Amino acid sequence: MPPFDPEPEETFSLRIDAQERNFRALRNPLAPTYAHSMEGGKARVYKIESLDAGSHIYALKVMKSKHRDPGLEQTCNNLDKLKDIAGLDVCERACLSPSRARDTISRFGNLEYSILMPWIQGKSWADVLEMAKKGQNILDKDGSILLASNFANVLAKLEANSIAHCDLSAGNIIIDPDPTKLQIELIDVEDLFALGFAQPAYLPLGTPGYQHKTSGAGQWHARGDRFAGAILLSEMLGWYDDTVRSTSYGESYFDSAELQSANCRRLDLLIISISRHSNDLATLLKRAWSSANLDDCPAISEWDQTMKKIRLGKYVVFEEPLKPTIGAKSPPIWTPLLKEPPKIEWEQNKPNLDEWNNEADKKNPSSWDQSDQKASDSKKTVEWE
């Protein structure tokens, strides 16, 4: 039988749960002769459009042969129960298992245990890191706080329910296209931890640039996001700073080899930048960096609560930024206001992020979805995971 490998604009149908659903494979704007797809370690993901009522955009994740695991059916059923949690829209999904899509699998054998789910529109944090190499920046100081606050809020709500993504990285964080909102969605959630979920066959070990020194033993548990979350939150908080952006390693701010090292220039620079928001936030990064294990890392709720204080404007920050020396005692930095605090600047003036909508998008009209990557001459485009 022929494999599922659509041409751009080709129409096809998927029969799931005895319901025929019609789709069109979308064209890759960076490689018009190919269908829009992305290559990852476990799967190729196609961007497809529903031809039925609503014309919604979906992702069809076609698993590679070694990853066509019958356990994916139960995983998808479990994840679907979480789809109403903020940041987990991608959990709305259906697995094309033999019990649900036998006719479809008989036509396209490689679609066995593939996954149909919403396509999450937006720019990934990895895209934002990449933009810095071109001299483009989407965040001012207030925008950095807004974005990091939204991310911390999503992770804190998951943490409160004993849920963890377990493989957070720049590539699986998608930012809402509306620059005045900067809301966050997570993708690549198949290895998500939650009470009652079956342990995956391959334990998540984290992604280079975001791995704790103990991640090699696996990090599939409720504290699995603490270290990677701390690094990502710190990247977002410091990204307004030209010095931080210019010293970024590449696909992550830190080179994986320097994570948790005793002497790290990038860490020193990031601590100084974060201190301009709050010395408490810089101290949280230092605690995560020095942690012996994930249990020892600050809880995500600590990040969330600290940023809520800043956004509510209840405190003012001591002018001198925290010195970057790890282990040094922090000076007192919060001074309670004696009268009703005024709204802080980001509440009065929405972040000025025109560059996001103008210059970057003029150069690349597809920049507001995950296809903002260099297309190769082959069908392999970018890595999904």
User: Where does residue 228 rank: exposed (0-12), middle (13-18), buried (19+ CB within 10 A)?
Assistant: buried
Whole-structure pTM value: 0.78
213-258: pLDDT as tens digits: 999 999 999 999 999 999 999 999 999 999 999 999 999 999 999 9
Residues 6+ apart with CB under 8 A from 106: 1
* φ, ψ (nearest 5 deg) of residue 76: -65, -40
Assess whether 28 and 158 both reside in one domain: no
283 and 143 share one domain: yes
- Residue 313 pLDDT class (50, 70, 90 cuts): low
Query: Within a domain: residue 370?
Result: no
Structural domain of 84: 11-118
96 and 127: one domain?
no
Same domain, 295 and 155: yes
CB 10 within 8 A of CB 24: yes
Residue 261 and residue 347 in one domain: yes
Rounded to an integer, what distance in angstroms lies between the CA atom of residue 306 and that of residue 317? 12
Judged against a pLDDT cut of 70, whether residue 356 lies above it is answered with no
In a domain, 385, yes or no: no
pLDDT band of residue 130 (cuts 50, 70, 90) is very high
Taking residue 15's Cβ as centre, other Cβ atoms within 10 Å add up to 17
pLDDT in tens, 140-175: 999 999 999 999 999 999 999 999 999 999 999 999
Measured in degrees and rounded to the nearest 5, phi and psi for residue 375 equal -90, 140
Show Cβ contacts of residue 53 under 8 Å, excluding neighbours closer than 6 positions: none
Let me know: does 17 contact 100? Beta carbons within 8 Å.
yes
* Per-residue pLDDT band at 324 (split at 50, 70, 90): low
Lookup result for tokens 């396509």 = 119
Q: Which residues contact 338 (CB under 8 A, 6 or more apart)?
A: none
Q: Please indicate, yes or no, if residue 373 is contained in any of the structural domains.
A: no
Give a yes or no: residue 99 inside a domain.
Answer: yes
Contact 108, 83 (CB under 8 A): no
- Is the sign of the CA dihedral 240, 244, 245, 248 positive or negative? negative
Say what the alpha-carbon torsion angle 75, 76, 81, 82 is, to the nearest 10 degrees.
Answer: 80
pLDDT of 381 > 50? The answer is no
pLDDT grade for 178, boundaries at 50, 70 and 90? confident
Taking the C-alpha atoms of residue 277 and residue 241, their distance in angstroms, rounded to an integer, is: 11
Question: Do 225 and 207 have their domain in common?
Answer: yes
Mean confidence (pLDDT) of the chain: 84
Query: Radius of gyration (Cα) for the chain, nearest Å?
Result: 22
Please check whether residues 139 and 218 belong to one and the same domain: yes
135 and 33 in a common domain: no
The secondary structure element, H or E, covering residue 357 is helix 354-357
Final residue before a domain boundary, out of 68, 86, 118: 118
Domain boundary among the residues 77, 94, 118 is at 118
The pLDDT-based confidence of 361 (bands split at 50, 70, 90) is very low
Decide: 14 and 58 in contact? Cβ < 8 Å.
no
One domain, residues 289 and 354: yes
- Nearest-angstrom CA–CA distance, 170 and 129: 8
The answer, yes or no, to whether residue 317 has pLDDT greater than 80, is no
* Inter-residue contact 171 to 189 (CB < 8 Å): no
CATH number at residue 108: 3.30.200
Give the residue carrying structure tokens 């096809």.
12
Dist. CA 237–CA 377, nearest whole Å: 37
Flag whether 226 is in a domain: yes
264 falls within a domain: yes
Four-CA torsion 39, 54, 3, 38, nearest 10 degrees: -10
Tokens linked to 129: 């890191």
Q: How confident is the model at residue 41, as a pLDDT?
A: 82
Q: What is the pLDDT of residues 11-49, one digit of tens each?
A: 999 999 999 999 999 999 999 999 999 888 889 999 999
- Rounded CA gap, 279 and 136, in Å? 27
Q: What is the CATH number of the domain that holds 127?
A: 1.10.510.10
Q: Is 139 found in the same domain as 114?
A: no
Residues 254 and 196 in one domain: yes
77 & 217 share domain: no
CA distance 203 to 26: 33
Residue at which a domain ends, from 61, 85, 118: 118
CA–CA distance, 221 with 204 (Å, rounded to integer): 10
* Rounded Cα gap, residues 52 and 307, in angstroms: 43
What's the domain count of the chain? Answer: 2
